[in-house]
Amino acid sequence: MKLHLIFPVLLLNLFSLNAQNGVFTGTNARSIALGGTGVASTGIAALTNNPAGLADLAAWGVSAQAEQRFLLSELQLFSAAAAFPTTSGTFGIQLNYFGFEDYNEQKIGLNYARKLFDQFYLGAQVGIFNLRIPEYGNRMLVTADLGLLAPVSRSLAFGLHLIQPMRLEITEGEYLPTVLCFGLDYRASEKIHLLAEIEKDIQKKPRVHTGLEYQIIDPLFLRLGVATEPASVSFGIGYVLSGGLAIDVAAAYHQVLGFTPALGVIYQGE
């Protein structure tokens, strides 16, 4: 296998990064700025954090996201998503692409979320994941995620997201990760959001994510985050324009590998 193919794959395996091996959680700029949190959040971003969060969507929305891991062109990720609520629940679709010409992963996910009670939401995703390495061919798998969300009050919500509970083999001895995320979203005041969660891959150490969002002025948000395993810090801003358009900019910093910039654009209908 060529050296330029081996290097980015080794980086991914060595530092146990998401947005690889079929796991596309937290792949939006707001979540990245907030340390990878978001499992207990609602809205269109729930397509990449917890499908149950879509149940609270009041109007249709679309999202486009991009990030570049450690400023390497081989580690680019692009995501597009759309969701729309109905009287029978909220439906969504998500498209992801990660990698480069000689190694890439694609995933399409179909989401459904519904409020079972005022304080209990249920969501699920069924996806098709494809790994493509031109020298070796394609490997296609059907994946599934399950999400729960419990907004216990106007200021506090808990979220649970189970990613790929089935052990799916990509190649001999290599499996798609099975990951469990549990976290909270706490609105400390009208201007301050606090987020925290624990992420556990069944084959790796737990990872802790924390985030702080502060509304500087009405349309402008400042975001900070910290995560462990591997240790990283992150920051970003969000700006809400008139007409339902929002722009998010973020960057995460790894002390060895450097910066990961991210950009997101969301449009929320009325």
- DSSP-based three-state secondary structure for 21: coil
- Quick one: pLDDT at residue 16? 44
Prediction pTM value: 0.91
> What value does the mean pLDDT take over residues 215-230?
96
Rg (CA), the chain: 18
The per-residue pLDDT of the chain, averaged, comes to: 91
Q: Residue 19: pLDDT above 70? A: no
Query: What's the rounded Cα separation, in Å, for the pair 127 and 94?
Result: 9
121 phi and psi, to 5 degrees? -115, 145
- Contact call for residues 166 and 196 (beta carbons, < 8 A): no
Cis upstream peptide for 230 (omega within 30°):
yes
Q: Of 2.40.160.60, 3.30.110.30, 2.70.150.10, 3.30.390.10, which CATH number belongs to 3-268?
A: 2.40.160.60
Tell me the pLDDT tens digit for each residue of 107-162.
999 999 999 998 999 999 999 999 999 988 899 999 999 999 999 999 999 999 99
Q: Please name the helix (run of DSSP H) or strand (run of DSSP E) that holds residue 210, with its range, or none.
A: strand 207-217
